[in-house]
Amino acid sequence: MRQIRFFILLVLIGSLHLACQAQSGSKDPNSPYKFKTPSWDGIGKVYMGREISHIMGFAGKDWLERDSREAEEGVSLAINNLPITSNSVVADIGAGSGYYSFRIAPLVPDGQVYAVDVQEEAVEFLRKRSEELGFENVKAVKGSSISPNLPANSIDLAIFVDVYHELEFPEEMLQNLRKSLKSNGKILLIEYRGEDPSVPIKPLHKMTVRQAKKEMEANGFELIENGQFLKIQHFLVFQKKD
């Protein structure tokens, strides 16, 4: 529980400025976003009925790398169920410290892992860490709030591990990511289960299957797998639709 409380504090520290941005955001009637008084852990920006949460700053690196994470989340089980082959090209969006990126890299020796993050500090850490670990197939990429900045038609699988709910511009990000996915490309959302009140995470940092489907379908993706094997998270695989 102490680690969960620490995570919540890091989320607030990392993104308080987004609340101000949301309050002063565009009132364009054609915008997919609405604005409200921010919740204490939200930015006041609403997408398809869901308030977007604060992001976790790179100061939370140690929380991402905590020794208890495997036992709490079953990371190995999630990675073993990824829809990838040895030559897959994978994008880890919001890679942070590379916790997932560097565990996926050995599984795609003939492929590539793009470790994408919007924070320069994280990108620099990912570059150095990939060199230290000797992973020539891991490339750190500086993304933006609206795009992962990846090559067109290049990605087999893009993963968002407890990240999607933090995207400031989810619609723009999904549309730009769609361009980077191959024709049969997939997106994996790993999110804390919003339907389960016993999961000790604040509501805006969890998602329901219903909400995830609504947002993904609106952007051209269909749910093809709802893996229910993780302890406290959803494992939702979406396929790019023609």
Residue labelled with tokens 């140690």: 62
With a CB cutoff of 8 Å and minimum separation 6, the contacts of 212 are 164, 189, 191, 223, 234, 236
Q: How many angstroms separate the first and last alpha carbons of the chain?
A: 44
- Distance in angstroms (rounded) separating the CA atoms of residues 165 and 41: 12
Q: Which domains does the chain have, with CATH numbers?
A: 68-240 (3.40.50.150)
- Which pLDDT score is estimated for 185? 98
Joined tokens for residue 18: 């987004």
Q: Which helix (H) or strand (E) holds 190?
A: strand 181-192
Residue labelled with tokens 């364009």: 28
C-alpha closest to that of 150 among 174, 116, 183 = 116
Contact 93, 178 (CB under 8 A): no
194 φ, ψ (degrees, to nearest 5): -70, -20
C-alpha closest to that of 144 among 108, 169, 113 = 169
- Which pLDDT score is estimated for 191? 98
- Which pLDDT score is estimated for 16? 42
- Which pLDDT score is estimated for 27? 64
pLDDT by residue, tens only, the chain of 242 residues: 444 444 444 444 444 444 444 444 456 888 999 999 999 999 999 999 999 999 987 877 888 899 999 999 999 999 999 999 999 999 999 999 999 999 999 999 999 999 999 999 999 999 999 999 999 999 999 999 999 999 999 999 999 999 999 999 999 999 999 999 999 999 999 999 999 999 999 999 999 999 999 999 999 999 999 999 999 999 999 999 97
- Which pLDDT score is estimated for 179? 98
pTM of the model: 0.88
